[in-house]
Chains A and B, each alone.
Chain A
Amino acid sequence: MKRSLSFVALLCVAYLIPCLMCLAPDPGDQASVLPGAQNLWQGFTLPALGLGLMVLVGRCGLPALAPFLAAACMGLLLDGLSDSNRMGLQTITCTLLMAGLIWWHSVPLSQPWQWIISLPLATALGSTSSFISLNFPAGWITQLVTEVSIVTIVVIAGTIVTRLPQIYFAPAPREVFSLSNRWNRLTPDS
């Protein structure tokens, strides 16, 4: 049951990321929080975060093939929705990045620093591939730095939020048994 739900969640992530990217805010929309939010929406920020989410969900007892498949599906959808003539670029990028991510996070319990490194790196790689295909358009460095910064901030925020309960509600560590402890107990100061 848990596996089935995890697989459904994986497919949902793979489906919703391209949907979200279709809802790019209008360039002149006064309501958009970030200036130039449309560029970020169309960059590799959302797919990179989606890949990270897929790895997280895929670790709930699913074989490695499942996130692989979900990433390939997401890439295919992104390719279908993109205006670029280079069909398959997003599919290959997403699949290979997923391979890298699940290799990097192969240990059952990943450390926060691993996420803080892996997802911005995935963003940089994914964006760079599209920049190469577009022959390095003007302002690509700024765009790349912005995308990587945003993903880093999101990952750090996500890590803090998910780790807070562990910090606050973790059981107190057991007192280590040692001779000195035992002696201290037997001979209190007061």
Chain B
Amino acid sequence: MNDRRFFNPLHFSPAQALLVILTLLVPLLPAGMTSAWRTTARDVVAPGCLILRELQVHLATPISRQLTGLFQHSTSHDLQAADLSENTASILGQQLEREREKTHRLTALLLIPSHTSKSFHPETSISPQSSRIVPISFEHADFEQTSNSSRLRAGSKRLFVADLIEATLLGSELSRNWKSGAIIAQGSRQGIEESAWVVKSSEPLLDLGHDHNIAPADLVLTAGLVVVGKVERVGNWTSTFLPVTHGRFRCRAMVVRQAENSTVSQKPTILTQTILAGDGTQTCRLEKISDNVGLRVGDEVYSLEDDGLLNRPLFLGTITKATLPAEDRYWEVQVTPEYLHPAFTTPDPYVSSSSVVTTASTPSPPFPARLSILRLRPNSSRFENDSPSSQRVQP
């Protein structure tokens, strides 16, 4: 450019004029195109954000090390962390998993309204039917403080109480043998027979059935009170359950946002109440969330029960995708559960590859083999104390 002047408004080139006209036409674009552009813009900017974030971390680390120069231990720990062996990594992974579960439990505790701690009455007597049945409050030491703090506990006993019954997930081979009748045939001489509903079902199996008073729709949880499914069919000795990602899984849920500054005093916010439904792939979806609710990726989803029997919500998953179509007034929300059942970790060959959503940034932890079933039963002590005829009631 040899001209002295960089830009002369008197010599406005046609290209420049065209560009200005085009920019003036942008607001007239149809809503579909603008929403598509919004999605594209976020995708376009994502790599740049990632690079800048990495840069930010690299620049911030030396500064923070200088500032915390007195803490030589932390520096040496960092150096040691760089040489992690595989075993150490797996141990750290387990610790991380425990911490995540603890976070979910603490969030659930923070969500409890203050009055519920008064109404909660932990069942102290373990049912004589099985030594594997444990009351919730004794399963988790974190919750003891809440239950013990209630002064009104002695005065108000609940009619129904919740128990966690330990169960084991049967592996694929054992399940196959059980359903195929190989094991049942051997045991039929000793009177072992299984319900045809369970035998014919293709869903995963738990090793508890009618013998433990399991009922359909009982929730299946992990030790950290994370919902992994719901009991579908109950046999004599085993039960099938629907993982949360199953197409037929549905439950009431609430969307929760953690407090921005992670101080204990700030409670998480309940954004909305909705229905969580499995979508038959690796994720779930939330239904009918109106566009006036401000959702974002990372918001957590907890169970919502209005019976008042549980004194804390149960963790369901994390929002990994939330889009608001321009033509629709409801959000399209994708929720990734904490644990994915092996049946859903590989894409269904009958589903086209474009519809398989793989937005989870971190791989899910392995599906736990030790599970718990949440069972509600009548409060035996209540019947014993209040009514002599209650002896007939079997929990």
Contacts and interface: CB of A to CB of B under 8 A. Distances in A.
Contacts of B260: 26-28
B261 A72 contact: no
A76 to B, nearest CB: 7
Given A16-B48, A27-B260, A80 B24 contact: no
Contacts of B34: 87
B45 interface: yes
Interface in A77-105: 77, 79-81, 86-89, 91-92, 95-96, 99, 102-103, 105
Contact of B23 (A63, A72, A80): A72
B343 interface: no
Given A19-B49, A23-B53, A87 B27 contact: yes
Nearest to A65: B15
Interface residues of A, number: 43
A105 B15 CA distance: 20
Interface string A172-189: 000000000000000000
Interface in A102-144: 102-103, 105-108
Nearest to A104: B7
A79 B42 CA distance: 11
A63 B5 CA distance: 11
B26 interface: yes
Interface in A53-78: 58-59, 61-65, 68-69, 72, 75-77
A22 B49 contact: yes
A75 to B, nearest CB: 7
A47 interface: no
B174 interface: no
A63 to B, nearest CB: 7
Contacts of A96: 20, 23
Contacts of B1: 61-63
Nearest to A93: B23
B361 interface: no
A157 interface: no
Interface in A7-64: 15-16, 18-20, 22-23, 26-30, 58-59, 61-64
B94 to A, nearest CB: 29
Interface string B21-63: 0111011110000100110111011001101110010000000
A107 B5 contact: yes
Contacts of B28: 88
B16 interface: yes
B48 A102 contact: no
Nearest to A89: B27
A19 B52 CA distance: 8
Given A64-B16, A72-B22, A80-B37, 17 more contacts: A19-B48, A19-B52, A23-B49, A23-B52, A23-B56, A65-B13, A65-B19, A68-B16, A72-B23, A79-B26, A80-B40, A86-B27, A88-B23, A88-B29, A92-B23, A99-B9, A106-B6
Interface of A: 15-16, 18-20, 22-23, 26-30, 58-59, 61-65, 68-69, 72, 75-77, 79-81, 86-89, 91-92, 95-96, 99, 102-103, 105-108
- 5 tightest CB-CB pairs across the interface, nearest first? A80-B41, A28-B261, A88-B26, A19-B48, A88-B27
